Amino acid sequence: MIEDLRRIGMHVYFLDVSAKARPGTSPCPTVLLVAVLLIVPGIMAQPSAAQKDAALHNDVQRALQQGDYDRAIVIYRQLIRLEGNSAPLLLQLGVAEYQKGDYESAAESLHASLRMQPHLAVAEAFLGLSEAARGNSDRSMPLLEKTLASRDASVDQELKRIIGARLGQLYTDRGRLRDAEAIYMSLLKANPHDPQLLYQSFWLYMSMGRMAMDTLVREAPNSYRTHKLIGLLLLEKGNYTGAADRFRQALREDPAAPGLHYELGILALRANDKDGAAQEFTEELRLHPTHAQSYYQLAEQRDRDGKVDEAWELYGKALQFEPDFADAQVGKCRISLIRNQPNEALNYCSEAVSLAPADRPAHYLLARIYRALGQTDKANAELALFQKLQKQATEQLDFLTEAQIGVGSEH
């Protein structure tokens, strides 16, 4: 966030200073927001009086590039003393004060800018951010909402991303969770890997999930769904005995509830009770004959036992009811290799990778297939990709284990 705001601070400076080239100046190092205020009516109507002192402009440019907002503020105040107040200079001063963390001074400067140039969109945006940072959400929210909805050309997507993240947090704090969700979903379409948006949306969904769970437990404490939900949460925390007890309670409430025998089968596998697991998966299929995951688990058991023909049929059943089941495609690929049918195996593994590009077993099998087909370069590439994905998975597991994701305190 700090680096994003630094870019915007540089941008706001160049809006006023870079309309014409000046001796000794360099172009803005960040192009994300270069053209925002140049087309705001009235801002550039008069040549800037600051052109009288190119040295000061060079100094403020260097200060902004270095993130030295204290010096930038001093220079802006010098320019204001030399030239008198102007909307652009007051805006630039306010942004520098905001980035320094002096939100009260920033609000004063931005208010002054808006008195001279009403409805100046970027000034309204930073005033909203300043008021939010001061804890004045009633003042900030209307300004941030206006900026986010604005079609003003000076409000580009980078600024909207920052505004949206702040507004989404304010909505979350106010309990307006659906409004926050709408903002995050919109922004994530354009910024799917943005850490701030992902972090905030994670906590939003955690809050929504907790609220839904609290309501479910309060309104239907003996529902099979309540017992199943608590069982899944216990399973996530590694409390397998507690999870099994909850799943059995859920079955007492509704003996035909979907997925419960499957979950008990997974717990039996964890306890190395293969016969018990097979019984649970078979019972799940008796109650729900289209349950692809149960077919897959039974196929895996047959595969490990060397009963490849039975496994083949069961993988096929899983794919019949869930055609995009990548793991079942991998199972068929593996059996095709056992049968010395590399071309058939290639078809299944290629389909698995198209469905799940990060599927590690599929890439490992592809390396074996290409080697069997004499395509050494492709085999080496797939093996390297498998090793990379394996390393990433290990690092991610270590990180999540250490962080105990989802179990910690409020953000």
- Using CA atoms, how far residue 391 sits from 51, 354, 386, 394, 398, in Å, is 56, 21, 9, 5, 11
Looking at domain 322-411, does it have CATH number 3.40.640.10? no
Whole-model pTM?
0.68
Q: What pLDDT shows up at residue 52?
A: 54
Q: Give the pair of three-digit tokens for residue 201.
A: 């949306």
pLDDT, position 236: 87
The reported pLDDT for the residue numbered 94 is 94
**Predicted pLDDT of residue 264:** 97
DSSP state of 40: S
**Residue 164 CA: distances (Å) to CA of 75, 119, 151, 188, 193:** 31, 19, 14, 10, 15
- What does the pLDDT read at residue 404? 56
pLDDT, residue 39, reads: 31
Is domain 2-151 classified as CATH 1.10.40.50?
no
Residue boundaries of the structural domains of the chain: 2-151, 322-411
Q: Divide the 411 residues of the chain into consecutive groups of 10 and give the mean pLDDT of each group.
A: 48 39 30 31 40 74 88 90 88 93 96 93 95 94 94 88 94 93 93 92 92 93 94 92 96 96 97 96 98 98 96 98 97 96 96 95 96 96 95 82 52 44
Q: What is the DSSP string of 241-252?
A: HHHHHHHHHHHH
Is 322-411 in the same CATH topology as 2-151? Answer: yes
Max CA pair span of the chain: 88
340-352 pLDDT per residue, tens? 999 999 999 999 9
Strands (E), 283-399: none
Copy the structure tokens of residue 42: 């009235």
